[in-house]
Amino acid sequence: MEGKPIILLVEDDLDSASDYKEDIEALIDVTVIAVAPPVDLLDLIALVNELNASAVILDERLQQLSDATYAGIDAFGYLRSAFPRLPVDILTAYPPGLELKGRGLHVENLVRKRDLDEDEEFKRSYLQELYQRIGRYRQRQDERHELMTASDTVTKEFVESLAQLHFEADDGIEQIIWVRSGDEKEICLIEVNRTALPTESIQVFRFAPSEDVPFRIFIADVRPTEWERIQSGDIPLPEGWALEEAQIFRRSEVLPERREDVG
């Protein structure tokens, strides 16, 4: 990631946001962009993407002066899932209550406004620590997997790259089986996912070719026990699919450990 890191400060009180922006930029080499909370959480994700933000600071109570459909803790959980490892902290005027702790929020992600406003030493050390987390996040972002550019026909390397993307997207996928259908313009995958819904059969969804994946994709999600039954012939494969030349991509082999938690 190039350029100065951007911290997205989501605060419904824009006056105090402006004060925090000034304070933060005076102490660490970042650009703080203060915004009122978007109405929907999906818009917040889009904003983080759009600005390529390297950290997010959320006010705990986002709904006092805005139309946001969520509180800071809701946004925290959502951002954590959508951007694993993205530094996200919550600014609060209150001591951390049980509700926040019960929702997986660690004390180090909670910043008391009073400490930040009144304790210079705390402010300096908190911001230095945040700056280090930002540095680590940006380094991981640089190592993040991008889908490789496709060639005219399906190659093993491209399917492996696609498999990597799917592993990163869904933690429940244990292995991905690339089934050769004989057509070089399509990719047939069986994804063994411990969170798949049981169907006792193979249901295949087809996705149309797109700009970055210019091939038809056929995907069947199965549970590990169903995969065993497929291998023993108990559950039949779709017509034209055969396991003889199938290639298996396992999470542990395709997704090196350092990438496991990078979104």
Partner 1 sequence: MWANAYLEQARSDWKMRSLMEENSAADCHCLHYLQMATEKLAKAALLRGRAKPEDLRRSHKAFVRFLRSSAKNPSLRQTFGLSARQLQESINGILPIAAEVERLVPGRDQLGPNAEYPWETPSGEVKVPASYAFPVAEELRGPQGRKLLSLISVILDRFDTFF
Contact footprint for partner 1 (CB under 8 A):
40-42, 45-46, 49, 69-70, 78, 81-84, 165-166, 168-170, 196-197, 199, 201, 203-208, 210-213, 217-219, 221, 238-239, 263
Report the nearest approach of partner 1 to the CB of residue 60 (Å). 19
Report the nearest approach of partner 1 to the CB of residue 183 (Å). 12
Token representation of residue 111: 């910043």
Q: Which is nearer to partner 1, 67 or 184 (CB)?
A: 67
Q: Which is nearer to partner 1, 60 or 168 (CB)?
A: 168
Report the nearest approach of partner 1 to the CB of residue 189 (Å). 9
Report the nearest approach of partner 1 to the CB of residue 263 (Å). 4
Report the nearest approach of partner 1 to the CB of residue 109 (Å). 19
Q: Which is nearer to partner 1, 79 or 91 (CB)?
A: 79
Rounded Cα–Cα distance for residues 84 and 259 (Å): 10
Q: Which is nearer to partner 1, 48 or 91 (CB)?
A: 48
Q: By the 8 A CB rule, do 249 and 176 touch?
A: yes
Q: Which is nearer to partner 1, 119 or 143 (CB)?
A: 143
Q: Which is nearer to partner 1, 121 or 211 (CB)?
A: 211
Report the nearest approach of partner 1 to the CB of residue 195 (Å). 8
Q: Write out the DSSP string of the chain.
A: --SS-EEEEE-S-HHHHHHHHHHHHHHSS-EEEEEPPPSSHHHHHHHHHHHT-SEEEEES--SSSS--SS-HHHHHHHHHHHSTT--EEEEESSPPPHHHHHTT--GGGEEEHHHHHH-HHHHHHHHHHHHHHHHHHHHHHHH---PPPP-SS--HHHHHHHHHHHHHH-TTEEEEEEE--S-TTEEEEEEEETTSPP-SS--EEEE---SS--SEEEEEEE-HHHHHHHHTTSSPPPTT--STT-EEEEHHHHS-GGGTT--
Other Cβ atoms closer than 10 A to 132: 12
CB-based contacts of 117, cutoff 8 Å, min separation 6: none
Report the nearest approach of partner 1 to the CB of residue 26 (Å). 33
Report the nearest approach of partner 1 to the CB of residue 211 (Å). 6
Q: Which is nearer to partner 1, 7 or 44 (CB)?
A: 44
How many Cα atoms occupy the beta-carbon half-sphere of 218 within 13 Å?
19
Q: Which is nearer to partner 1, 93 or 169 (CB)?
A: 169
